[in-house]
Structure 1
């Protein structure tokens, strides 16, 4: 197999949230695609956060694209100058007020949607979490923190008793497998 060749590229728009790029591509078989759209987004991190009592720290918030309220693990994009671990710990503190003295475990790094997006997500596990302060939300955020028994959350996902997104479900199952191996 061979990679596609980009023959032309132009930005349709650039914003602080992300960019939309239109590429013209030549495929290895000689075919051309004149309008291939690529969304450029920042990389982000998320974390399965488990308290000292074995509860999963989740955030519930409105997601406009999905037109509903979703129960998710804490997540966010990395800020300039931050390591992935620093960004992940900052996001957890800001969204939940929780922290931990334990070292985070990297569960995996994945492309979000490599067909049309440029960003990656790194998923961490953070055990031994405890409440260390209040939330420090951005002015556009309204987040409710919920604690759920770790094992119960898996059942809730399987029985579709919770409205969540794929990254939360996959991170939960990666953490569950990691903890089961340990």
Structure 2
């Protein structure tokens, strides 16, 4: 199997938070696709934070794409020159006020957001033994409520669809599989 050859790229949207490109690609069989669209967003980190009591730190926030208040694990953009682990510790504190005095931080890997058309990826970081120990520091567009839930309640919410972010569920199950 061979890779496609990129012949041309034109950015239709080019911002720090989103890029949309119209690409011309040549397939291995010689066929040319004149309008293959790709997306790019900055890499981000999914934070699986667990308290000393074994409860997961979760957030509720409005998501304009779905028009809903979504239940999610904390997450955020990885800044330049920042490792996923550093971003996870920072974002957890900023969004939830949770941190750990001497955090047990495990990098669980990265996922492609959507390998068909999306060039971004997200990283999964597990932080164990956190507690609420400070103030939140929201970005201007954030309004976040934080709660903690048990593994059993999280599984119920996945089953009934009230926790339905597929990328976050994939990250959580990466952690579940790492425990076996």
Shift in Å, 1:168: 2.1
Question: What are the equivalent positions in structure 2 for 1:145-164 lying under 5 Å apart?
Answer: 145-160=146-161, 162-164=162-164
SS of structure 2 residue aligned to 1:104: strand
Q: Is the contact between residue 50 and residue 150 of structure 1 (CA under 8 Å) also seen in structure 2?
A: no
Q: Which consecutive unaligned segments of at least 5 residues does structure 1 have?
A: none
Cα distance between partner residues in 2 of 1:79 and 1:29: 40
Q: TM-score, normalised by structure 1?
A: 0.93
**Could you tell me which residue of structure 1 aligns to residue 121 of structure 2?**
120
Matched residue count: 179
Q: What RMSD, in angstroms, separates the aligned Cα atoms of the two structures? A: 1.3
Q: Which consecutive unaligned segments of at least 5 residues does structure 2 have?
A: none
Which has the larger displacement, 106-115 or 138-147? 106-115
SS of structure 1 residue aligned to 2:3: coil
Matched, 1:95 2:95: yes
Shift in Å, 1:53: 0.9
Q: Is the contact between residue 154 and residue 172 of structure 1 (CA under 8 Å) also seen in structure 2?
A: no
Matched, 1:143 2:152: no
SS of structure 2 residue aligned to 1:69: strand
Shift in Å, 1:89: 0.8
Shift in Å, 1:103: 2.7
Cα distance between partner residues in 1 of 2:8 and 2:14: 17
Shift in Å, 1:129: 0.6
**After the TM superposition, which segments of 4 or more aligned residues of structure 1 sit over 6 Å from their partners?**
none
Q: TM-score, normalised by structure 2?
A: 0.94
1:39-94: CA deviation from partner (whole Å, max 9, x where unpaired): 12111111111101111100100100011011000111111221111111111111
Q: Is the contact between residue 97 and residue 135 of structure 1 (CA under 8 Å) also seen in structure 2?
A: yes
Question: What are the equivalent positions in structure 2 for 1:1-182 lying under 5 Å apart?
Answer: 1-100=1-100, 101-160=102-161, 162-179=162-179, 181=180
Q: Is the contact between residue 75 and residue 88 of structure 1 (CA under 8 Å) also seen in structure 2?
A: yes
Q: Is the contact between residue 69 and residue 163 of structure 1 (CA under 8 Å) also seen in structure 2?
A: no
